Amino acid sequence: MRIEVICTGDEVLTGKIVNTNFSYISQKLEDFGLALSWETTVGDERENLLLAFQLAGQRADAVIVNGGLGPTIDDLSQEIAAKAAGVELVLSEDWLAKMETYFQRRSRVMPPNNRKQAMLPAGAEVIDNPVGTACGFAVNIGRARFFFTPGVPRELRRMLEEQVIPRLLAASGKQTAIYLKRFHSYGIGESHADSLLAGVEALAPDGSVKLGFRAHYPQLETKLTVRGSDMDDIRAKLAPVEHEVRKRLGNFILAEDDRTLESVVLAELASRHATLTLVETFTSGLIAARIAHLPGAEKIVRRGIVARDLGEVCAAVGLEGPSMPGGITRETAEAVARAAQRHTGSTHALAVLIELDEGADRIEFAGSICLAIATGHDVASRRSRIVGGRDWVRLGAVEMGLDCLRRQLQGLPVNERIDFEKVE
Amino acid sequence: MRIEVICTGDEVLTGKIVNTNFSYISQKLEDFGLALSWETTVGDERENLLLAFQLAGQRADAVIVNGGLGPTIDDLSQEIAAKAAGVELVLSEDWLAKMETYFQRRSRVMPPNNRKQAMLPAGAEVIDNPVGTACGFAVNIGRARFFFTPGVPRELRRMLEEQVIPRLLAASGKQTAIYLKRFHSYGIGESHADSLLAGVEALAPDGSVKLGFRAHYPQLETKLTVRGSDMDDIRAKLAPVEHEVRKRLGNFILAEDDRTLESVVLAELASRHATLTLVETFTSGLIAARIAHLPGAEKIVRRGIVARDLGEVCAAVGLEGPSMPGGITRETAEAVARAAQRHTGSTHALAVLIELDEGADRIEFAGSICLAIATGHDVASRRSRIVGGRDWVRLGAVEMGLDCLRRQLQGLPVNERIDFEKVE
């Protein structure tokens, strides 16, 4: 089945907004084993919209159109869809009533121009939008089935997942039960993970499990797409592969599915009624900003301290300044973490100290990271060197700090070698 | 002149990477008064690439192709360009020599597969890439001139600005001298700015200055695109409009052109040899993370303190805890800012305290922000309420904190009403 996407709107065509709806649609299709062949972006302009619909209708079996379903004069998708399909626009009384209820429930009167949103090509199949007034619909143009979806990301996501993808799966004749299992890791590059996981797909029968990756430095997402006749079948097929991925990626897996590194750390701390103090230098608040705003963090993250000068770091945690003549070492980081824990009365303290190279920012620019985690009477630490420019060092240090804290909380070694560090 | 863009690559088509190259190209063209009509994305697949080139070659006058110029087997742009243009691929000895020099200067031997990057369609015009090994080129396909550019963002940007846009401007017959003047503001929404600036374009002759906006909450960018015969002509046309924009947007302009809010704040502090302490609650390190990592900040940003609990905030700045029974008020913020300044010995202190509403995150979720700036013996403060969900409140508070600090440093009122706050 050939699937295309058409994105509409001047905002997208002029680059005023980055087209994240498209990457979302494409990833989501891939998660369900549906591949995309072609994407077209056109503005709010009748001639190009019509041509785009006609061309896609000649080439594709299914087309997802995004945007242009709003109430304003530059929202043209219904009008051009009707023209391309060779039918009239007709009022959907059902959708009009639905919109009126929508406004009533919010104690508002429906503005007259919203009526336009209930005008659909004659014979169109209505596709429900439970979270907005833009009415989705499906209609045939040329040889393709067209699915029209709203541009508001929240509305698009609901409609795509609940309405469009099931229709595409049914039309493609694929087994409709499909499941996506995700593992998030830090410290392994994509090609390394690919070689570590060689052959895992073969643990499931008939190619029913497909392995994929999505790298977003510093984290890597490992994806298993599983097809089956139903969820029991899927669980049975997934089990041996899932088990093997966990075994091979091991300590590097920081979270699975919708969980994040910071939520795992927060949950580990919450489960032992712990409190946390963070000490940062060049990461300059980014570690605290990942965790301290989360619901529940107000009782756990006791204090975050940022300072660029080591003497100031020491002063902030009640350490004598001149006792640190050697600059930034693992021992310094350990002393700072211990002092931070004592000074604020928290059960845990993470100190991430960074010594940057001299000179201008460039791809060879590096930084040395010394981090330490103090808990009770113990302290764990590591030293690492990251190359790749100021931003790369900074982002890498944030992730390394949080992930070492996760490892310490889960009883795993904090010193395991990672792919992103330079061996000295 | 009809201009189209073709983005190539499985990474883009599958949504593995968000297509920021496209929004960059589109915005950059607009900055030079060139409008885009159509965009197509195809993967690394011969049949679709060829069709995309042929269709664009039938419709457009100029086509910018992005990606597919690398050394690997899935980089197909040169091959398909030659096929679409009906010519052979030939080796460019000049580019081969250039690549060999490129590797020599980096003390590396050129891998054999890089030779592929010097294979160009016969008769193609070479377009220089001063920062990489991918060779840009231009060739005619159908009725259009095609410009092939690399997918690496840094290489694309150099090539587009220095090579492709001048060729497009020459082909369009437009005056080639063009200039983009930008103003960054905080606190005014796009439609409000649009009405405030009504009529400013008319202060320049013959529509030579065009007004535009780009909103990226919480900041708004106001753009003036100016055309002229040369830079003197441009300066003369821009001067009255620029002056008027500064007058009408007034205190809300936080920076111009490539400067940022944080660099302006840092420069103001540096010019008076000042030092800064930051105190944050729900913004949880994001204010510090905007400024403390910048080159030069290591001598200026003395300390950042993050705590979610008001008692802990007070403890961190040496204030007695129980002296704050009234919760978060302007007075609390003033006391915390004064104490932070005293406690750390800095000349300036900014405290941003936030009281969040109870309940789940939703669009109506709000927070009350009390911020204060202590300097010498003075303290300035403001209270504001922001509605729009947890993230919206958090981002708004970061910007408000930094912008009030900018206002205080520039002798402007910190209490001016902004569009993003809820009047109570």
Cα B6 to Cα A285, B148, B163, distances in angstroms: 40, 9, 18
Residue B228 falls inside a structural domain: yes
Which chain A residues are Cβ-neighbours of B285 within 8 angstroms?
280, 284-289, 292, 304, 306
- The shortest C-alpha distance from B305 to chain A (Å) reads 5
Cβ atoms of residues B19 and B12 within 8 Å = yes
Q: In this structure, what are the phi and psi dihedrals at residue B136, rounded to the nearest 5 degrees?
A: -75, 155
Q: Does A41 touch chain B (CB under 8 A)?
A: yes
Contact call for B18 and A13, based on CB within 8 A: no
Q: What does the pLDDT read at residue B322? A: 52
Q: Looking at the structure, do residues A341 and A370 belong to the same domain, yes or no? A: yes
Contact A14 B27 (CB under 8 A): yes
Tell whether A224 is covered by a domain.
yes
Domain boundary among A236, A256, A276: A256
Q: Point out the residue among B36, B37, B306 whose CB comes nearest to the CB of A304.
A: B306
Residue-level pLDDT at B323: 54
For residue range B55-64, what is the model confidence (pLDDT) as tens digits?
Answer: 999 999 999 9
Element housing A305 (H / E): strand A301-306
Structure confidence at residue B421 (pLDDT): 87
Find the CATH number of the domain harbouring A216: 3.30.70.2860
For the stretch A145-166, pLDDT in tens is 999 999 989 899 999 999 999 9
Burial (Cβ within 10 Å: 0-12, 13-18, ≥19) of residue A104? exposed
Residue B319 backbone zone (phi > 0: left; psi -120 to 50: alpha; other: beta): beta
What CATH code is carried by the domain that includes residue B391?
A: 3.90.950.20
Residues A195 and A273 in one domain: no
- Would you say residue A418 lies in a domain? no
Q: Taking CA atoms, what residue in A is nearest to B55?
A: A55
Last residue of one domain, picked from the residues A256, A281, A309 = A256
Q: Is residue A191 part of a domain?
A: yes
A36 shares its domain with A160: yes
Distance from C-alpha of B6 to C-alpha of B18, rounded to nearest angstrom? 15
Comparing CA positions, the residue from B403, B424, B405 lying closest to residue B187 is: B403
Residues of the domain holding B188 = 177-256
For residues A180 and A225, is the Cβ–Cβ distance under 8 A?
A: yes
Q: d(Cα A132, Cα A114) in Å, to the nearest integer? A: 11
CATH of residue B69's domain is 3.40.980.10
Whether residues B198 and B49 fall in one domain:
no
In this structure, of A315-324, A326-335, A392-401, the range with the lowest mean pLDDT score is A315-324
Question: Quick check: A41 and A19 in contact, CB under 8 A?
Answer: yes
Q: Is the pLDDT of residue A322 over 80?
A: no
> Quick check: helix, strand or coil at residue B368?
strand
User: Are residues B158 and B279 located together in one domain of the fold?
Assistant: no
pLDDT in tens, A259-270: 999 999 999 999
Nearest CA in chain A to B35: A14
Interchain contact, A305 vs B302, CB within 8 Å: no
A29 and A148 part of one domain: yes
Tell me chain A's radius of gyration from C-alpha atoms: 27
If one compares A277 and B179, the residue with the highest pLDDT of the two is: A277
Q: Tally the domains of chain A.
A: 3
Q: Residue B424 pLDDT more than 80?
A: no
Is residue B414 in some structural domain?
Answer: no
Q: Which are the contacts of B148, defined by CB distance < 8 A and separation ≥ 6?
A: B65, B68, B69, B77, B78, B81, B127, B136, B137, B138, B139
**Global confidence as pTM:** 0.83
Assess contact for B404 and B413: CB atoms under 8 A: no
Does B48 contact A42 at a Cβ distance shorter than 8 Å? Answer: no
| CA dihedral sign of residues A150, A156, A162, A163 | positive
Task: Specify whether B160 is located in the same domain as B182.
Answer: no
CB nearest B306 (choices: A26, A52, A292): A292
Could you identify the residue written with the tokens 């669980």?
Answer: A235
> What is the nearest CA distance from B91 to chain A, expressed in angstroms?
31
* A145, A172, A199 - which closes a domain: A172
- Give the model's pLDDT for residue A325: 59
- The CA-to-CA distance between both ends of chain B, in Å, stands at 52
**Is residue A11 domain-shared with residue A144, that is, in the same domain?**
yes
Ramachandran angles phi, psi of B170, nearest 5°: -65, -45
Query: A59: closest CA among B44, B76, B54, B144?
Result: B54
Strand pairing partners for A371? A352, A382
In this structure, are residues A313 and A291 in contact, taking their beta carbons and an 8 Å threshold?
A: no
**Exposed (0-12), middle (13-18) or buried (19+): which is A204, by Cβ within 10 Å?**
buried
Residues of B in contact with A131 (CB under 8 A): none
> Residues B208, B281: one domain?
no
Is residue A297 situated within a structural domain? yes
Number of CB pairs, chain A paired with chain B, less than 8 A apart = 189
Residue A73 pLDDT > 70: yes
* pLDDT tens string B355-413: 999 988 887 889 999 999 999 889 999 999 998 889 999 999 999 999 999 999 999 99
Specify whether A333 is located in the same domain as A405.
yes
- Bridge partners (DSSP) of residue B120 are B90
From chain B residues 301-340, the ones with a CB under 8 A of any chain A CB are: 301-309, 312, 315-316
Task: Name the nearest CA neighbour of B295 among A358, A99, A43, A207.
Answer: A358
My answer on whether B78 and B106 are in the same domain is yes
Q: How confident is the model at residue A102 (pLDDT cuts 50, 70, 90)?
A: confident
User: Looking at the DSSP assignment, which residues form a beta bridge with residue A8?
Assistant: A42
B248 and B299 co-located in one domain: no
**Would B48 be classed as within a structural domain?**
yes
Q: How far is A306 from chain B (nearest CA, A)?
A: 5
Contacts of B363 (CB under 8 A, 6+ apart): B388, B389
Q: Is pLDDT above 70 for A323?
A: no
Contact B316, B307 (CB under 8 A): yes
Which of B4, B284, B290, B310 is most worth mutating to test chain A (most A CB atoms within 10 A of its CB)?
A: B284
Q: Would residue A414 count as lying in a domain?
A: no
Confidence of residue A326 (pLDDT cuts 50, 70, 90): low
Task: Decide if A211 touches B, using CB distance below 8 A.
Answer: no
**Pairing relationship of beta strands A366-375 and A348-356 according to DSSP bridges:** antiparallel
Lowest-pLDDT range of A307-316, B110-119, B334-343:
B110-119
